[in-house]
Structure 1
Amino acid sequence: MSDDARDQLLDAALMHVPFDGWSESTFKAAIEDSDVETPLAHALFPRGAVDLAIAFHKRGDAEMVKRLKAENLMSLRFRDRIAAAVRFRIEAIENKEAVRRGSSLFALPQYAGDGARLIWGTADLIWNTLGDTSEDYNWYTKRATLSGVYGSTILFWMGDDSEGSHETWAFLDRRIDNVMQFEKVKAQINDNPVASRLLAGPNWLLSKLKKPMAMPDPDLPGHWKPSSGADRG
Structure 2
Amino acid sequence: MSEQLLKTKEALLEAALPHVVFDGWSTATLAEAALDAGISPEDAQAAYPRGGVDLAIAFHKVGDAMMLERLAAADMSNLRFRDKIAAAVRYRIEAVTDKDAVRKGSALFALPQNAADGSKLVWGTCDAIWNALGDTSDDVNWYTKRATLSGVYASTVLYWLGDNGEGNAATWEFLDRRIDNVMQIEKFKASVRKNPILSKLMAGPAKVLSGIRAPHSAGNRDDLPGHWSPKDVT
Name the residue aligned to 1:177: 180
What are the within-5 Å matches in structure 2 for residues 120-199 of structure 1?
Answer: 120-199=123-202
Name the residue aligned to 2:114: 111
Question: Following TM superposition, by how much is the alpha carbon of 1:215 offset from its aligned partner in structure 2, in angstroms?
Answer: 5.5
Question: Following TM superposition, by how much is the alpha carbon of 1:94 offset from its aligned partner in structure 2, in angstroms?
Answer: 3.0
Residue type of the partner of 1:119?
A: V
Name the residue aligned to 1:20: 23
TM-score (norm 1): 0.91
Residue type of the partner of 1:151?
A: A
Mean CA deviation greater in 82-91 or 92-101: 92-101
Instruction: Provide the rounded CA distance (Å) in 2 between the counterparts of 1:139 and 1:74.
Output: 23
2:41 to 28, 35, 38: 38
Instruction: Provide the rounded CA distance (Å) in 2 between the counterparts of 1:156 and 1:28.
Output: 32
Tell me if 1:76 matches 2:75. Answer: no
Question: Following TM superposition, by how much is the alpha carbon of 1:90 offset from its aligned partner in structure 2, in angstroms?
Answer: 0.2
Instruction: Provide the rounded CA distance (Å) in 2 between the counterparts of 1:119 and 1:110.
Output: 16
Instruction: Provide the rounded CA distance (Å) in 1 between the counterparts of 2:111 and 2:21.
Output: 18
Instruction: Provide the rounded CA distance (Å) in 2 between the counterparts of 1:51 and 1:94.
Output: 20
TM-score (norm 2): 0.90
Question: Following TM superposition, by how much is the alpha carbon of 1:21 offset from its aligned partner in structure 2, in angstroms?
Answer: 0.6
Name the residue aligned to 2:67: 64
* Alpha carbons of structure 1 residues 58 and 215: separation in structure 2 relative to 1, 3 Å: farther
Instruction: Provide the rounded CA distance (Å) in 2 between the counterparts of 1:36 and 1:121.
Output: 30
Instruction: Provide the rounded CA distance (Å) in 2 between the counterparts of 1:95 and 1:31.
Output: 20
2:98 to 71, 92, 95: 95
Name the residue aligned to 1:231: none
Question: Following TM superposition, by how much is the alpha carbon of 1:38 offset from its aligned partner in structure 2, in angstroms?
Answer: 2.1
Pairwise CA RMSD of aligned residues? 1.3
Q: How many residues align?
A: 217
Note the residue ranges of structure 1 that are not aligned, 5 or more in a row: 217-233
Listed one character per residue, the Cα deviations across residues 195-233 of structure 1 (whole Å, up to 9, x for unaligned) are 0110111000110011013767xxxxxxxxxxxxxxxxx
Residue type of the partner of 1:138?
A: N
Instruction: Provide the rounded CA distance (Å) in 2 between the counterparts of 1:96 and 1:3.
Output: 25
Instruction: Provide the rounded CA distance (Å) in 1 between the counterparts of 2:104 and 2:212.
Output: 37
